[in-house]
Structure 1
Amino acid sequence: MRIVIAPDSFKNSSSAICVAESIEKGIRRVKPDTQIVKVPIADGGEGTVDAILIGSKGQKVTLQVQGPLGKCVEAKYVLIDKETAFIEMAEASGLQLLSNEERNPMETSTYGVGQLILAALDRGVSRIVLGIGGSATNDGGVGMAMALGVKFLDKTGQLIPVGGKGLAYIDRIDKSEIDPRIARTEFKVACDVKNPLCGPEGATAIYGPQKGATPKMVQYLEKGMQNYAKAVGHLLEGSSYHEVPGAGAAGGLGMGLMAFCGATLHSGIDTILDMVQIEKYLEEADLVITGEGNMDGQSIYGKVPVGLAKRVEPFNVPVVAIVGGMGIGATKVYDHHIQSIMPLTNRPMVLEEAIENVDILLQDAAERMMRFIEVGKHLN
């Protein structure tokens, strides 16, 4: 039997590659000689750069950049080949880089993302793919654009403050000194968020609070976003980028990448599956095991397990999922080529206990699943 293990990470618990390794251990308790291929998957958020590195067998490049609050952090990106780089914005500006007390979208910036872009350009690439999930920012990608050479000026002609607080000060945008290589580079964004930049479904209203914004901050940041959209419209002669679904992704970084880099937005999971060339692993597979931290009715909308299952279906290979928990509507995935769901908990337990014991729980769940599969083979 040849099994492909291709899970997402279990958020705040275990990375995708660790999940895959735990599942493998459980399988080998039952079938020690099984041929197993591990392909960790992500959808553009935290951990995607590691999944791309493993799946594409690319080259890891590490450098120091500004973190979300301006302190230096070590970030990495992947050179897929001589022409293509993959950048995960969360490496430079991710929420995981901050403590709960440090979360403050008035201050956080995407400047480090721009530094990663410049570093990739210095390697001579002509195509950059960015995963933009997991951000700590709400600056509309202004920090990123600043790093690329764009100037955001207030009414006195001075540079605006960094972070989300600066958006309200923008009076004029000068892109005359933007790095000329930007215009010669293709930018593709892996993004499954459909929020516009502004409004009740926009970046600030929906995601600001989880990044540390108080109700008062949300009001201020929303006005800043509206001012920013207006300024970009003046710069780009009536541009409506702020209305594009996904413009509000990563605190408006989606908007910034479209406006200043000419980026196009694409399905996160499909982009990642293409980059790891998932089909080459499926051609000889007998079973695919995927998984995520929580499977519910929303899992059919752009999440890793269902996105993967759609790619598996033409190969007529069964897909099963090992998950941290099953929420309301989880069984909807049965209509999307996932044949079975195996929760990892084996008794009632609080979340903290499950997180602490995730490795052994995943092994046990994988063992139970394989034993059911062996029973099925005998019934056949």
Structure 2
Amino acid sequence: MRILIAPDKFKGTLTAPEAASAMAEGALRVYPDAVVTTLPIADGGEGTVDAAVAAGYAERLNAVVGPILKPVGAAWAFHPGTSVAVIETAQASGYLLSEPTVENSLRAHSYGCGQLISAALEAGATEIIIGLGGSAMTDAGTGALRALGLKLSDANGNLVPLGGGSLGDVVAVDASELDPRLASVKLRMAVDVDNPLYGPNGAAHVFAQQKGADAQAVDHLDAGLRKLAAVVAADTGIDIDVAGAGAAGGFPSMFVAYASATIERGFDLVATMINLDAALADADLVITGEGSLDVQSLSGKGPLGVADAAHARGIPVVVVAGRITVTPQQLAEHGVVSAVSATDVAGSPEAALADAALFTTRATSEALNGI
């Protein structure tokens, strides 16, 4: 039997490669003669670099400016053979890199992401995939573009400070010194949400609170994004308030206007990057999963994206997750023949979290025994 193991991360406990390793151990306990292949996945957010490295990309590390000006070490991935680079906003500008306070929600910026893009260009990248998610900022990607030469000025002709809290002061954008290499590189923004840039469903109102913003700060950030969009529209004729532009604090929006970036469904982008189709061609059984398999998972991103691709080929799918809150009937529509959670095997969420690898291994064995 040939088993493909392709999980997403178990957020807060296991990376996708760690989850895949635990599942592989559980699978081999049931099928000791099986040929097991692990292929960690991501939906375009946190874990995208891990998925690239697991798929054969070279991991690189750069010191960059973090979201509140403290230096951080940020990992990214590069494939010399294809000249494709993979970057995450979470690595350089992630919410775990700054304390979630009101002040930081206004100050946080994406400058370090721009430094990673510059590093990828220096390495010779002709295509850069940027995984969006887990960000600390709501700056519409302005910090990253400022690291690449963009200038934002206020009514007095002064450069505005970094951070989303200053966007309301922007009256002019100067792209004359923007890194010319951006014109020849393909920038692909991997998103797993379709939120617009501003408004009730935009970057500030939906995501800024978890970054430390209170109600007043949320309104301030949203007004700044709205103002920036108006300035950009006047400068370029481009509307940056599009579906998906609200991801990672609005990060894609300015890149759409000034770097011809495309906004793409994260899972599809990652699936192509790791060559999921080729892996499925050699599989008799697929095991996938993530930390929490819930109603949001049913949209077909992440693990159920894998399940759908396997189901289309007639390959049975087993799901292992930290917890499962959807029904077997709902999972069966995606070709899932067995599903077990680590929480059920451990007896409680607390026990499952305390030793996630152990109970993921046991849940995998139980799921396979249940086929």
TM-score by length of 2: 0.95
Report what 1:61 is aligned to.
Answer: 60
Sort the Cα spacing of 1:84 and 1:233 in 2 relative to 1 into closer, same or farther, 3 A. Answer: same
Deviations 1:258-311 (A, max 9, x none): 112110111100100100001221112110000011112221214211111222
Work out whether residues 4 and 39 of structure 1, in 8 Å CA contact, stay in contact via their aligned partners in 2: yes
Sort the Cα spacing of 1:91 and 1:348 in 2 relative to 1 into closer, same or farther, 3 A. Answer: closer
Give 1:117-136 correspondences, 5 Å limit: 117-136=117-136
Work out whether residues 306 and 337 of structure 1, in 8 Å CA contact, stay in contact via their aligned partners in 2: no
The answer as to 2:110 corresponding to 1:110 is: yes
Report what 1:271 is aligned to.
Answer: 269
Amino acid at match of 2:64: V
Q: For 2:10 and 2:153, how far apart are their aligned partners in 1?
A: 42
Amino acid at match of 1:136: A
Report what 2:162 is aligned to.
Answer: 162
Q: For 2:103 and 2:295, how far apart are their aligned partners in 1?
A: 29
Deviations 1:49-106 (A, max 9, x none): 0111111x11122111111111111112111235211111211011222345598320
Report what 2:366 is aligned to.
Answer: 368
Query: Percent of aligned positions with the same letter in both sequences?
Result: 38
Sort the Cα spacing of 1:171 and 1:147 in 2 relative to 1 into closer, same or farther, 3 A. Answer: same
Work out whether residues 345 and 362 of structure 2, in 8 Å CA contact, stay in contact via their aligned partners in 1: no
Q: For 2:27 and 2:327, how far apart are their aligned partners in 1?
A: 28
Q: For 1:330 and 1:88, how far apart are their aligned partners in 2?
A: 34
The answer as to 2:51 corresponding to 1:72 is: no
Report what 2:138 is aligned to.
Answer: 138
Give 1:284-295 correspondences, 5 Å limit: 284-295=282-293
Deviations 1:181-220 (A, max 9, x none): 1111111111121011111000000001011111110111
Report what 2:323 is aligned to.
Answer: 325
Amino acid at match of 1:154: D
Cα-Cα RMSD: 1.7
The answer as to 2:257 corresponding to 1:259 is: yes
Give 1:191-210 correspondences, 5 Å limit: 191-210=191-210
Report what 1:351 is aligned to.
Answer: 349
Sort the Cα spacing of 1:18 and 1:102 in 2 relative to 1 into closer, same or farther, 3 A. Answer: farther
SS at match of 1:336: coil
Report what 2:14 is aligned to.
Answer: 14
Q: CA deviation at 1:177?
A: 0.5
Deviations 1:130-156 (A, max 9, x none): 111111110111101101100000011
Q: CA deviation at 1:33?
A: 2.4
Structure 1's unaligned 5+ residue stretches are 374-380
Q: For 1:172 and 1:302, how far apart are their aligned partners in 2?
A: 40
Sort the Cα spacing of 1:252 and 1:97 in 2 relative to 1 into closer, same or farther, 3 A. Answer: same
Sort the Cα spacing of 1:101 and 1:213 in 2 relative to 1 into closer, same or farther, 3 A. Answer: closer
Q: For 2:210 and 2:331, how far apart are their aligned partners in 1?
A: 28
Q: For 1:328 and 1:28, how far apart are their aligned partners in 2?
A: 27
SS at match of 2:106: coil
Deviations 1:240-269 (A, max 9, x none): 121x10111111101122112110111100
Q: For 1:348 and 1:37, how far apart are their aligned partners in 2?
A: 26
Q: CA deviation at 1:354?
A: 2.0
Report what 2:39 is aligned to.
Answer: 39
Q: For 2:133 and 2:332, how far apart are their aligned partners in 1?
A: 27
SS at match of 1:241: coil
Amino acid at match of 1:256: M
Sort the Cα spacing of 1:321 and 1:92 in 2 relative to 1 into closer, same or farther, 3 A. Answer: same
Amino acid at match of 2:69: G
Q: For 2:144 and 2:303, how far apart are their aligned partners in 1?
A: 31
Larger deviation: 127-136 or 100-109?
A: 100-109
Q: 2:335 aligns with which of 334, 337, 357?
A: 337
Work out whether residues 48 and 86 of structure 2, in 8 Å CA contact, stay in contact via their aligned partners in 1: no
Q: 1:245 aligns with which of 243, 246, 264?
A: 243
SS at match of 2:107: coil
Report what 2:305 is aligned to.
Answer: 307
Work out whether residues 83 and 125 of structure 1, in 8 Å CA contact, stay in contact via their aligned partners in 2: yes
The answer as to 2:49 corresponding to 1:49 is: yes
TM-score by length of 1: 0.93
Give 1:149-188 correspondences, 5 Å limit: 149-188=149-188
Report what 1:90 is aligned to.
Answer: 90
Larger deviation: 261-270 or 346-355?
A: 346-355
Amino acid at match of 2:221: L
The alignment covers a number of residue pairs equal to 370
Q: For 1:9 and 1:211, how far apart are their aligned partners in 2?
A: 21
Amino acid at match of 1:358: A
Q: CA deviation at 1:165?
A: 1.0
Q: For 1:157 and 1:101, how far apart are their aligned partners in 2?
A: 30
Amino acid at match of 1:299: S
Work out whether residues 135 and 251 of structure 1, in 8 Å CA contact, stay in contact via their aligned partners in 2: yes
Q: For 2:214 and 2:347, how far apart are their aligned partners in 1?
A: 32
Work out whether residues 100 and 210 of structure 2, in 8 Å CA contact, stay in contact via their aligned partners in 1: no
Work out whether residues 343 and 349 of structure 2, in 8 Å CA contact, stay in contact via their aligned partners in 1: no
